Chain A
Amino acid sequence: MSQVTDSSLQPASFTTPIQRVRGTNDFLPAHEARLRKLEGALRERFARYGYEGIQTPILEPLDLFLRKSGDEIVARMYAFSHWNRRLCLRPELTASVMRAYVGELQGRTLPVRLSYSGPTFRYERPSRGRYRQFTQVGLELIGVGGAAADAEILHLACGGLDALGVKSYRLVVGHLGVVLQMLRQLGMSEHAQGLILDLMEPLTRGRLAADDAVRRVVELLGGGAAAEGPDGALVGGGEQEMWGLADLAPDQAAAVVADVLRHTRLPLAGGSRQPREIIERLLARAHRPDPTAQVRTAVEFVLRLHEAAGGAEKMSLLHELLEEQGLSTEPLHEMQAALDLLRAYGVAEADGGGREVAWEVDLSLARGLRYYTGLVFEVYVDTEDGPLQVCGGGRYDDLIRALGARESIAACGFSFGLERLDLIGASSDDQPARLPRVLVVAVEEADHPDAIEVAGQVRAGLAERCVVEQSLRFGGLKAALRHADRSETDVVLLVGDRERREGTVALREMRSRAEQQVTRGDLTDVLRKLLT
C-alpha cells in the first residue's frame, strides 16, 4: 500500500511542469494575432493624429511611482531589491513616459504627442478582465492645457473604440478640480488630500462605508483615538493637555519639554533623528486640531458629488451644489467646454451613425491615482457580467514637475486595457484575409539548398501575397504531404533529384491534388495566377 504512493511523494523535481504565474496569460497564435491587430489599429489611429511612438523599460526605479502614484497603486506593485537597488515592474505607463520626457524630450517644441503600448503589472486579485500582467495602449499630450486638449484626447478615446467597431459604450467624465478645491478650502494638508483622493474610488463604488473611510483617514492622520499610545507613551493627547503645552509659546514649550526630559534622563534621540526635530514635531502635534470633522466633511462632499452624477441634465444641479459650498464653478465650465468640443468632433449621444454613446458627469471620479489635477474620464462597455472599464485617463498638470522638470507643464492622456478590449469582442475592421500558405519541400537532404533557393524566389516574387514555409525535416514525401494537409497548406512545391536536374519544381495544389512540373523561370507567374 505504501509502495503505491512513492512516486507521488517525491518533491517537485526538474521534470515537473512549470505552472504559469497566477494572473498572467499565455496568448496562443490565433489569439495573439488578434491582440496584435487591436493594438496596431489603435496605434495607427493615434499616429494619424500626430502621436509618435515611444517605448520605455518595463523595469523602473521604485521611486518613480512613489512620487505621485498614490498608495493604492504603490501597495500593489511588484517591487524588489536587486543588488541593493530598489526596482519595480511598472504598474502603469504614464509616469514612465513622463520620466522619459523630462529626461530626454524637454527641449522639444510643445505640444509633444506620444503614444505607447506595453505590459504593466499590478498585484491584484485576478478575475475576469483583471490580470496581474496586462497591456496598456495609450497616449500622452504634453504641453497644452484646457478644454481644447481635453477634447482631443476624449475624441481619440472614442475614436479608438470606433476603430475597433465598439459602438455602444458609456463615457463617464469628471473633474478633480472640484474635490481638490474643496480639500484646500477645508485647509487639508497635501498628505491628507492624498488620503482622500485614494479612497474616493472605493468609497463611491460601495467598497468602503463612509464611517470606515473617515475612521481610516483620521487614523492615518494621527487624530482622534489613534493618538493614545500604549507603553505609557509621553504624548497621549490627554497628557499634553495636562502639561498645558498647547497654551505656551513654541520656544517656551520647547524649553519645558527639554527640561523635563533632562530630568527623566530619557535619551532624546535614536536612529537618524535629532532631539530638535523630535521636540518640534511633538509640539506641532500638540497644536494640531482633531481632523475628524474636516475629514467627515470631505467624505460627505465626495458622496454628494457621486449622488449628483448623471447625464447633461445634472449640470445645473452640480452648479448649485458647488455654489452652495462656495466653490468656483470653473471646473464645470472647463468640462462643459470639452464636451461641447467633442460634439464638434462628431461624437454625440446616439448620433445616428449606429453609435450609442451615453455620457455621464461624475465629479467624484478619481481613478485611484493621485496625480490627476483636472478632467478625468473612464469608458465602460456593458458585458454579461456587468460594465467593464476599457479605457481611462485625464489631466495631470503637476506630474511632470514632480518628476523633476524645470517647470510645470500641462499634460493629459489615457490608456486602453488591451486584454479587456479583446474580452468585449472588439476587432479591427481592416482584418486582412488569411494569406495562402506555400510549403517548400526538399525530397532528400541533398535537395535542401535548391529548396531554399526556391522558397527565396517565391518570397521575393510574391511578397505580401502568401506565407512561405520551408520544410526542415527530410522524412520523405508522404510525411511532408501529411504535414501540408494538417497545416492547411494551399500549395506544396517539391524539389527532388529530377527537379534539380531539369531546373523545375513539382507544384502540387493540395485542395485538388493536381500536380504539374513548372520551370523555375515560370514559377512566380504560375503561382501568382493560382493564388489570386
Chain B
Amino acid sequence: MSDGALRIALPSKGMEDDTLRFLRACGLTLDRTNPRQYQARMRGLPSGPAEVVFQRAADIFDEVEHGTVDLGITGYDIVAEHRAEEDNVLMVHGELGYQRCALVLAVPEGWLDVASASDLAEVAADLRARGRELRVATKYSNLTRQFLYDRGITYFTLVEVSGAIEAAPALDTADAICDLTSSGVTLRENRLKTIAGGTVVESQACLIGNRRTLAASPQRLTATRELLELIEAYLRARKHISLTANIRGENAEAVARLVIGAGDAAGLLGPTVARVYPKDPAREREDGGEWYAVTVVVTEPVLLGAVEALRRAGASSISGTPVHYVFEHRSWTFEALKRQVGGGGVDDQSAYLRTKTMAWSSS
C-alpha cells in the first residue's frame, strides 16, 4: 500500500450494506478478496485507490480521533455522543442521507400518565419523593444526561446496559430507555412508547475526518476533495430528474421562450433546445412549425409541476430519467473542510458541531 493513500474507516455489521450501496451509487467500488476481511481498497477516485478498514460504527469515531485513519463514515448519533471540546475530529459531511434514525426517550406503554418530557420530569420528582429514582437505560450517557438536564430532570440514574436496551424495563433493570429507533417497531414489540418532545437527536450517516492527518498531507486532502465531489454530486443528483419533451414551434428561441414562460419547466439554468429532424418532412410542413427537443433538469418536488408546464407548452411524449451526478462549479463541503483544516480552525470545527448540536439542545 502506498504511503500517502487516503485511509478510510467504514462501518461493519449494521451499517455495512447501506454504506457499500451508497458508495457504489457514488461511483466507488471496493476490492475485497473475501467479504469477511476487514481490509479493502476503494477504487473510483482519480488520484488512486484508498485504503479501507471495516470497524464497528461505534469505534470509528475513536479511530478518526486518534488518526489511525483519515476519514470515517459513522452515525451522527455516535459523533454527538463521543465528541469532545478539543478533539481532532472534523465533520466533513454531516448528511449522507442514509441510516436515518433518532435517539429517543421511551417509557413503558403502561405509563398512561406520561405523554411528554414534562410528565417524565414530574414522575422523576415523585419517585424521588418516595425514596426511589428514575432509572434510564442507555448507551448514550452524555446525550441522555444533557437532554434530561435541559428539561429540568435532575433526579435520575443512568443504567448502563450492554445487551438489548429495550428489554430493560421489562426486566426491571430500568424504568425508561434512551435508544435509537428508526421505525419504532422494536419499541412497540417491547411494549414501550415514545413521548412528546422526547427526541434527543436525529441521526444519519455522516463523514468525519482527522484534522491533523488531513492538514499534514496534501495528497490525502486531494483524495478527500475527490471523494466529496462524488458524494455531493450524487446527493444533489438524487433530487434531480432530467426531462426531455418534443415541442413544436417557429424556431428554437420561440420554443425556449415558451418553456421558460411555463414556470416550473425552466430547469436549473434554462432549457436546452435542439432541432428534431422528422422522418417525414412533408408532414411537418402540413402541421405548421418545426419540432424541437427540449431538455431540462428539475428537482423532485417540482417534477409534476414541470411536466404539467411542458404539456401546457404543447409538449408530446415527455420522458424522464434520473440524473446520476450534478456537479457544481466547486465542492462546497470541501471549501468548508479546507477552512477548517487550514487556519488553525479549532473554532470552525466546534462551531460546526455547535450548530449541529444546538439544533436539538435548544429545541
Contacts and interface: CB of A to CB of B under 8 A. Distances in A.
Contacts, number: 146
A127 interface: no
B110 A269 contact: yes
Interface stretch (A179-187, A270-278, A409-417, A450-458): A270-278
Nearest to A267: B110
A464 to B, nearest CB: 45
A231 B194 contact: yes
A230 B219 CA distance: 50
Interface string B144-179: 001001111011000000000000011010111000
A195 interface: yes
Given A6-B3, A9-B216, A270 B107 contact: yes
B110 A5 contact: no
A191 B121 CA distance: 10
A271 B152 contact: no
A406 interface: no
B175 A270 contact: yes
A16 B277 CA distance: 72
A285 B114 CA distance: 10
Contacts of A10: 67
Contacts of A191: 122, 125
Given A1-B4, A6-B3, A227-B115, A269 B213 contact: no
Given A267-B191, A271-B172, A278-B110, A226 B196 contact: yes
B113 A230 contact: no
A227 B85 CA distance: 36
B112 A2 contact: no
A402 to B, nearest CB: 13
Given A22-B85, A271-B174, A11 B66 contact: yes
A235 B154 contact: no
A236 B3 CA distance: 61
Chain A binding surface, main DSSP class? loop
Interface string A72-111: 0011000000000000000000000000000000000000
Contact of B217 (A9, A266, A268): A9
Contact of A233 (B184, B191, B193): B193
Interface string B206-249: 00000011001111000000000000000000000000000000
Contacts of A11: 66-68
A479 interface: no
B112 A271 contact: no
Nearest to B66: A11
> Which of B67, B114, B174 lies at the interface centre, i.e. has the most chain A CB atoms within 10 A of its CB?
B114
A357 interface: no
28 contacts: A2-B2, A2-B219, A9-B67, A9-B212, A9-B213, A11-B66, A11-B67, A11-B68, A66-B155, A75-B146, A191-B125, A226-B196, A228-B115, A228-B116, A230-B196, A231-B195, A233-B193, A233-B195, A266-B112, A269-B110, A270-B108, A270-B169, A271-B111, A272-B135, A273-B111, A278-B110, A282-B112, A285-B119
Given A268-B110, A271-B172, 14 more contacts: A8-B212, A9-B67, A9-B216, A74-B154, A191-B122, A222-B116, A226-B117, A228-B115, A231-B194, A270-B110, A271-B135, A272-B135, A278-B111, A285-B119
